[in-house]
Amino acid sequence: MIKRSSLSKKIISYVSISVFIFLVAELYWNYWNLRQDLYAHMETRAIALADEIGYAFEALAIMHKDDFSMRRIVEQTATIFEVKDVGITNRDGYYTFHNQRDRIGERIDNPLVAKVIESERRQITYGNNEFIIIQPLHGEEYSKEHLSDVIGTIIIRMDLTTINSQLSDKFLASSLAKIIFIILFSVGMLVIMVRLIIKPIKSLSAATKQLSDGNWNVNVKLLTSDEIGELADSFNIMIRSLEERKERLQVQKGKLKKVNSLLNLEIGERKQAEEKLEATVAELRDTRDQLVRREKLAVLGQLAGGVAHELRNPLAVMNNAIYYLTSINTDADETTREYLEMISSEIGNAEAIVSDLLDFSRTRSSVRKQVTAAELIARVLEKHPPPEKVKVTTAIPPELPPVFVDPRQIGQVLENLVANACQAMAEGGHLTISAQAEKQKVTLFITDTGCGISKENMEKIFEPLFTTRARGIGLGLTVSRNLVEQNSGTIEVQSPSTALGIGEAGKGSTFTVKLPTK
């Protein structure tokens, strides 16, 4: 909340600052005028004295008087009030006359002397409680050498102590009078402003505060006919108008509240109907998808079973033939042995595909029993150990309850997942297998640090015949899901693995298998 100062304090502050600035300016102006007047009077006296000395010098020069008369004039001039000393110099700046005789012949070190002689104009300079007037002294003959009739200067030094004392006294007297007048005037103005402006504004402010507190019966009474009085009348009219509008708004608010209640009730009913409809549509969509998927799987299973049976016998014959050729050609060359091994390897891959097709086409009934997750993982890693480039870490708590599944079917699922993880880490990586208990279920996590699964492939990863590898026909994960579901479990995948807080950031995949304990 903004902290506000009162209007009276602001006005007093502004008036005080304005009066102070005006007072300082007025006192400075007064001081300056007094000083100019007194100094101008002093300069006039000094100029008159210098002119008299100059006239006397010219007159004595005409009458061919000796230096005694001129010396008397200089000494008498120095006795005049406020004159400190008087001197006359030649063009070279040496005193030829001075009221202090011991200074006659002394050279004055003042650059203004040469300037006065050159310009033939007087110069006045001010110092500490004194000022000096230097005026050119004209002779009766014109000097062709210097192209001037100036033969020297008249120097008069005046004492300003008395003038400055008078200036201080006059300034103090006038300043006190002005200060008293301005203070009285300011106090009067403040009293008038308080009566005519501040008090009415405070009344308006108090009424506004009462209005903000909810008092709609407030009324401002000001016995003035100026703009503030008009403002008070407008305020009273505004209060009455707001009170009338408030009453109308209360009536409208009641009506709107009733309409709003009816609308909320209708919206709630419609929302419930929409939720039921959406749930029904979603259930129907899921049922349709399951039926379509089952039909496709059934057709595909029949096809896969027929193809597998048709291929198994030729593959067996080919495998026996390769075995026979290998056994009778023990002394065959290296190229022949290499090709025989290549054919044998490809026959093995083909038999693996045939096995996948058979697993997919026929679903054997589950023979469930109690088995621990640690036993299942140990059998898989013993039967199919990962490559040396893949580091394996298992984190299976010993206190986990056993799962109630078909060990052979779930072992096949885990074998497939571990094999896929190792294939995803062809250049090496880290395979982590962990488990935890969750509400009558045990959850297994198989996490790899391989290349991960792209977002567009995540939805198709469990579909039959979908694969991103050069070898294989994409039935391994489909068969794994069927086996997990046949054992009342679920299987999910997430990539990158950091979505579950497992594995390294930005790469890898995590397959989650949930198995029942009962």
Alpha helices in 329-406 (DSSP H): 334-361, 373-383
Name the domain boundary from 134, 150, 169.
Answer: 169
* Residue 28 placed within a domain: yes
- Written as one letter, the residue type at 478 is T
* Residue 348 placed within a domain: no
Cβ neighbours, 10 Å, residue 499: 11
**CA within 13 Å, CB half, 93:** 11
CB-based contacts of 137, cutoff 8 Å, min separation 6: 54, 57, 88, 150, 151, 152, 153, 154
What is the domain count for the chain?
A: 2
- Written as one letter, the residue type at 9 is K
- Written as one letter, the residue type at 48 is A
141-187: per-residue pLDDT in tens?
Answer: 655 566 777 888 999 998 888 888 887 888 788 778 778 877 887 77
> What is this structure's pTM?
0.38
pLDDT of 504 reads 45
CA end-to-end distance (rounded Å), the chain: 65
Burial call 97-131: b when 16+ CB within 10 Å, e when fewer: bbbeeeebeeebebebbeebbeeeebbbeeeeeeb
pLDDT of 17 reads 82
* Residue 302 placed within a domain: no
Read off the pLDDT band of 360 (50, 70, 90): low
Three-state DSSP class for 160? Answer: coil
* Residue 65 placed within a domain: yes
Name the domain boundary from 169, 187, 204.
Answer: 169
pLDDT of 506 reads 45
CB 301 within 8 A of CB 307: no
* Ramachandran quadrant class, 470 (left: phi over 0; alpha: psi -120 to 50; beta: rest): alpha
CATH number at residue 404: 3.30.565.10
CATH number at residue 42: 3.30.450.20
Q: Label the pairing between strands 509-516 and 490-494.
A: antiparallel
Q: Which residue has the higher pLDDT, 233 or 17?
A: 17
Name the domain boundary from 103, 137, 169.
Answer: 169
* Residue 84 placed within a domain: yes
Burial level of 178, CB count in 10 A (0-12/13-18/19+)? middle
pLDDT of 414 reads 87
Residue 497 has pLDDT above 50, yes or no: no
184-232: per-residue pLDDT in tens?
Answer: 877 787 777 777 667 777 766 667 776 666 666 666 666 566 666 666 6
* Residue 207 placed within a domain: no
Instruction: Quote the domain boundaries for residue 495.
Output: 366-516
CB 80 within 8 A of CB 159: no
Instruction: Give the span between the Cα atoms of 95 and 75, in whole angstroms.
Output: 14
Q: Which residue has the higher pLDDT, 120 or 301?
A: 120
Q: Which residue has the higher pLDDT, 2 or 226?
A: 226
CB 381 within 8 A of CB 392: yes
pLDDT of 94 reads 92
* Residue 258 placed within a domain: no
Q: Which residue has the higher pLDDT, 232 or 28?
A: 28
Read off the pLDDT band of 273 (50, 70, 90): confident
* Residue 12 placed within a domain: yes
Rounded to an integer, the average pLDDT of 254-276 is: 87
